[in-house]
Structure 1
Amino acid sequence: MVRFLTLLALLLFTAAARAELEVKVEPRNDAARKNIEAFIGPVSASSREGMWRLARSSREQALSALQALGYYHPRVRPRVTGSDADPVLLLEVTLGEPVLLDEVTLEVSGSGRDADYFRFPRSRHLMPGAQLHHGHYEDTKSLLENQALRYGYFSSEFLENRLLIDVEENLADVVLRYDTGDRYRLGSVSFSETPFDLDLLQRMVPFYPGVPYDADLIAEFNRELLSSGYFEAVQVSAPPDQAVDGEIPVRAELKARDPHSLGFGGGFSTDVGPRAKADWKQHWLNSRGHSRGAELELSEPRQKVTSWYQIPLTPPQSSHLRFFSGWQREHIDDTESQTMVLGGLFQRRLDNGWNRSIGLRLEQERYSLGSDSGRSTLLIPSLGFQRTISDDSMDPSQGYSMMMDLQGAKAGVLSDIDFLRLNMAVKGLYTLWDNHRFLARAQLGGIASDGFASVPPSLRFFAGGDQSVRGYDYRTLAPTDETGERVGGRYLMATSAEYQYEFRPKWRAAVFIDHGNAVDSWEDPMKTSAGLGIRWVSPVGPIRLDLAKSVSDPDEGVRLHFSMGAEL
């Protein structure tokens, strides 16, 4: 049995042996050749005589390797070729007839016998008439044992696990009878000493005592504790040997993080030029897990200061109530504004994976928009949904993200005007054959208002720039007033299709086409641009450099776009 487990591991090893060993199989069979080379491993000798001394053991190893694949009557003839200074061991193999499966008995009993995860997979490799393959037999046994460990059948056992081989008749019988026993349950959760209330910690547990054991629940609990932001180290365990009447106590060892953190960052993009950012967070300020923080963002067109206070809800790691305040000044081309905001946001991650936010904010904005200027006061309720699925947060190879934001105001309810604003965006990324990447994105938006002339610039739509329609400068695509100054649009469409080719690790060439505009009517013309780019996945994140040219406006020059950040 130990030999066959060793052979099973070797079946997965496909690296070629050194040149001192050559295997020829008749009839040709690459699987047999590779398994022989893997089982024998490197062979070397300083002379032909020394190589002949290795020939016998190599022949025996080749026979064992072939038996693992069901060949019990092969002929293996060793020869030594090459010069005395550079000998080569040649194994000439004639396979013969393989052993075939005759009777196959696969049975599961116990409380888990009807569970989907204990059903034997339909496989042509474990059917009467199939060629014997010890690896497939061992894989089936491992599958049952692994499923038992994952789903809490810790008293499971094989009643029979036999592989009976009649070498003379070239037939084999497989008998696997497996008893799952009873499924264990997860018990109550205890925590190591922390500065937090036990009620807060218990609200983070994603299961109730008595739920059937599932290793994924333990892993999820571990992830949820880490994602709460309260701990720098987490270890959740549920040892089966401590079970009482089939119920396993769960223990969470926690180490609280330093409550304060201060961060600084910076960057550059052709949209806003150089920018700097600083943020301070107090990750927990009391035993109930409340937190607070402040952020400062500086760039030439935009300066912003915000502060917030957050109260955890249930579950605390994915549901909270945040109160915020902020001030922002923005001056971009023909638009200048100063905004003060005060509000609250209820955020929750839903069971289906979407992040939902319900907000209410009071916003006051002073602005100059083209040749016009004004001041608006708005009480804005909002509803948002967002979801991102990807295989890597920094440099994904596939995934998608979706976002929807709906907000509005009612004149007379602390608001100057009626409006309803909808903004939606979707991105998708797919990689084919490792180095061919396809990226697409689309954004649609619209504003419904009888008093659109009084809608402040922070709510209007502009297009153009690194993340919109390349080939145009930042926010230069928008309707204009009678003086020709851009004042923002009622509707927005921005789409892009991009192909990337990874010509060396972490380096990609890109071609793309963008299409869209910010308009007051869907009958207004859209703009199209195309370009080339280079992508570098740097240690601090992906960096993109693009050259884009407008197709719709040939007089527009070639524009350089530089940006950083993940693609989803």
Structure 2
Amino acid sequence: MLLLDNILKSGRIRLLSLLLFLWSFPAFASQVEVRVKGDYPGLQENAEAFIGKVEGRSASNLRRYASTASSQASKALRALGYYSPVVDWQVEEGESEKPARLILNITPGDPVRINSRTVDIRGAAASDSRFTDDLPIHPAKGDVLNHGDYTNLKNTLRTRAQRRGYFDGQLATHTLEVDPKALEADIDLAFDSGDRYRLGEVTFEEGHWFETRLLHEFVTFEPGEPYHADEIAKLNSDLLGSGYFSGVDIDAVPGNAENGEIPVRVAVTRRDPRSIATGLGFSTDVGPRFRGTWREHWVNPMGHKRGAETELSGLRQSLSTWYELPLDPPMTDSFRLTAGYQREDIENVKSELLTLGQQWQHQLDDGWLQVLSVRWEGERFNIGDDEKGTSTLLLPGVAYSKLHADSPLDPSRGYRLQIDVSGAHRAALSSVDILHVNALAKGLFTLAGKHRFLTRFQFGGVATNQFEDVPPSLRFFGGGDQSVRGYGYQTLSPENDNG
């Protein structure tokens, strides 16, 4: 029997670390050609990776190198469970334009298989189902021995311990016993986790300028909770995502723990207070257009923000501004005041719209984002030659939206759902009774690993007892790139007797 786990530095198992890079080696032209009898592409690739690229050698030099190449090939096969390969070699003499070649003919033989696998979790982690569940299935009993799988199993235990706060954990037993004659291998792992560390009090270094109360609202855990690396990562992400900071440095080192509790120290660097963005573009809907945004990322130590946006095109000109107050938690909840002006002249519809409003945004426990709003709209409009009017509306509303994606940066699957409902009544500072509903669903999915499809479905409706008094901003029009293609932008709408 060979005890392999503690002799990794010997020539016998030095190949383990190299296995991590097994699949990254491309095929290459070399003076050494590996031929494996049978259908074993993995064995051939691993042998080629171990031997490496061999160039510029004469036939005599290749003969001297043959024993080294054969030894490397044997190690490569052993890493994948083939402990008794037969390696024969021959050298083909080179010609004027064709270099000499060393050919290795390998017969793998029978593989070593896993006879038993024991993984014993001791300490506090033994009762932590998130630690003990879903360990790698391989290597499993009956599998062909793969030293990479064995190393991966050990690394999973170590990595999981670090992520879940078992910083004193260690492999008390880690043996892989191989009997090449019996073609059997036995795995025995015992991980002693020790106690789980806890998260301590969060403190922010001086000089951050913001109210400490605001910063502590970004902390989603309480002192004394079991440590998890994801909590630290989330705090870092939320602080950076707030728009207040250009840098965040969190110190939560186990070496600073007292009585098993790790103090969390946070240093933040304020970003520049203001930013301006401008852009010129062209769309088939509105033609050439200019967009500009101005944002003040922090107005005062309480974290208030404000900004303005403008869009200028031949069909639409708009200017809007807003002022936002963070709520608790500031990552998702806020109160915003808005004001805006918009002028449109599209086909035979002209309008001027002035809006004032407020929005309260709150994320629900199930992940849906809820927005409660009240806005006042004053609009003057002309529709064709017949409909002219002025509307005044006080519109309370509610909106729900949800976004899901498998990756925040480059998603391959995901969806977005949104529904908005608002209404007005003549008894409440409004010139017309109206109920306005708009729903949107978008989906992204990928086929065959590289073909992405984006679907979009939208519907809406207006209920009123005086449709001619409904302003254009609350009506629905079709046509354009994002609607019914082949028709001009917002040229489709209900027609009156005059068309």
TM-score range (shorter-chain normalised) is over 0.9
Query: What residue in structure 1 maps to residue 48 of structure 2?
Result: 37
Equivalent residue for 2:69?
A: 58
- Determine the structure 2 residue equivalent to 1:462: 477
1:166 aligned onto 2:176:
no
How far apart are the structure 1 equivalents of 2:153 and 2:407? 31
1:289 aligned counterpart, secondary structure: coil
Query: Which residue of the other structure, out of 336, 340, 345, is the alignment partner of 2:350?
Result: 336
Contact 2:125 2:132 in 1 (8 A): no
1:94 to partner: Cα distance: 1.0
Partner of 2:467: 452
Structure 1 counterpart of 2:159, one-letter code: N
Q: Tell me what 2:203 maps to.
A: 190
1:383-422 mapped onto 2 (5 Å cutoff): 383-390=398-405, 396-422=411-437
Does 2:210 align with 1:210?
A: no
Percent identity, aligned pairs only?
43
**Per-residue CA distance 1:242-261 (angstroms, 9 max, x = gap):** 11111111122211011122
Where does 1:455-494 land on structure 2 (aligned, <5 Å)? 455-484=470-499
Question: Which one has the bigger strand percentage?
Answer: 1
| Aligned partners of 1:100 and 1:130 also within 8 Å | yes
- Structure 1 CA distance for aligned equivalents of residues 410 and 187 of structure 2: 46
1:314 corresponds to 2:328:
yes
Aligned residue identity for 1:374: G
Go from structure 1 to structure 2 and tell me whether the alpha carbon gap of 1:293 and 1:438 turns closer, same or farther (over 3 Å shift): closer
Q: Which string of whole-angstrom CA distances, capped at 9 and with x for unpartnered residues, describes residues 205-251 of structure 1?
A: 12111121111111111111011111111122311111111111112
Counterpart residue number, 2:250 = 236
Distance 2:331 2:136 in 1: 42
Residue 361 (structure 2) pairs with residue 347 (structure 1): yes
Q: Give SS of 2:30's match.
A: coil
* CA distance, structure 2, for counterparts of residue 116 and residue 82 of structure 1: 62
Listed one character per residue, the Cα deviations across residues 106-159 of structure 1 (whole Å, up to 9, x for unaligned) are: 211111113333336476643333322111111111111111111111111112
- State the Cα distance separating 1:167 from its structure 2 match: 2.5
Q: Which stretch of the first structure deviates more once superposed, 199-208 or 21-30?
A: 21-30
Q: Distance in 2 between matches of 1:135 and 1:157?
A: 20
Name the residue aligned to 1:49: 60
The equivalent position to 2:454 in structure 1, one of 429, 435, 439, is 439
> Shift of residue 290 of structure 1?
1.1
CA contact (8 A) 2:309 2:319 kept: yes
* Paired residues of 2:236 and 2:250 also in contact (CA < 8 A): yes
Report how far residue 313 of structure 1 moved. 0.8
Aligned residues of 1:10 and 1:39 also touching (Cα < 8 A) = no
Alignment correspondent of 1:98 = 111
Distance 2:443 2:213 in 1: 40
| Counterpart-to-counterpart distance in 1, 2:366 and 2:101 | 61
More deviation, 420-429/77-86? 77-86
Contact kept in structure 2, 1:125 and 1:131, CA below 8 Å? no
Q: Distance in 2 between matches of 1:419 and 1:471?
A: 31
Indicate yes or no: 2:30 matched with 1:15.
no
How far does residue 390 in structure 1 lie from its aligned partner after superposition?
3.5
**Cα distance, 1:7–1:294 mapped onto 2, change above 3 Å:** closer
Asked if residue 297 in structure 1 is aligned to residue 311 in structure 2, the reply is yes
For residue 448 of structure 1, report the CA deviation from its aligned partner: 1.6
TM-score, normalization by structure 1: 0.82
**How far 1:348 moved relative to its partner?**
2.6
Aligned to 1:529: none
Are the counterparts in 2 of residues 265 and 278 from structure 1 also a CA contact under 8 Å? yes
* Contact persistence 2:306–2:324 (CA under 8 A): yes
User: In the alignment, is the contact (CA less than 8 A) between 1:117 and 1:147 conserved in 2?
Assistant: no
Q: What is the rounded CA distance, in whole Å, between the counterparts of 1:82 and 1:116 in structure 2? A: 62
The 5 Å alignment of 1:487-526 reads none
Of stretches 352-361 and 3-12 in structure 1, the one that deviates more from structure 2 is 3-12
| Cα separation, 1, equivalents of 2:32 and 2:364 | 59
Measured in 1, the distance between the counterparts of 2:407 and 2:184 equals: 48
Structure 2 residue identity aligned to 1:274: P
Structure-2 separation of matches of 1:12 and 1:114: 37
Equivalent residue number for residue 269 of structure 2: 255
- One-letter amino acid of the structure 2 residue matched with residue 329 of structure 1: R
Partner of 2:154 in structure 1? 141
SS in structure 1 at match of 2:127: coil
1:152 aligns with 2:165: yes
Contact 1:8 1:138 in 2 (8 A): no
CA distance in 2: counterparts of 1:145 and 1:12, whole angstroms: 24
Contact 2:15 2:76 in 1 (8 A): no
How much is the aligned-residue C-alpha RMSD, in angstroms?
Answer: 1.9
- Secondary structure class of the residue paired with 1:126: coil
Q: 1:377 to 1:124 in 2, by over 3 A?
A: closer
Q: CA deviation at 1:262?
A: 2.0
Q: CA deviation at 1:339?
A: 1.1
The size of the alignment, in residue pairs, is 484
SS of residue matched to 1:164: strand
Letter in 2 for 1:28: D
The answer to whether the 8 Å contact 2:112/2:180 transfers is: yes
> 1: distance between equivalents of 2:183 and 2:133?
25
**Are residues 221 and 121 of structure 1, via their aligned partners in 2, closer, same or farther at CA, if it must alter by over 3 Å?**
closer
Q: Secondary structure at the match of 1:112?
A: helix
Return 5+ residue gaps in structure 2 as ranges: 1-7
Task: After superposition, give the CA deviation of every residue in 1:361-381 in whole Å (9 maximum; x if it has no partner).
Answer: 111111112211111111101
In structure 1, the partner of 2:3 is: none
Structure 1 counterpart of 2:50, one-letter code: F
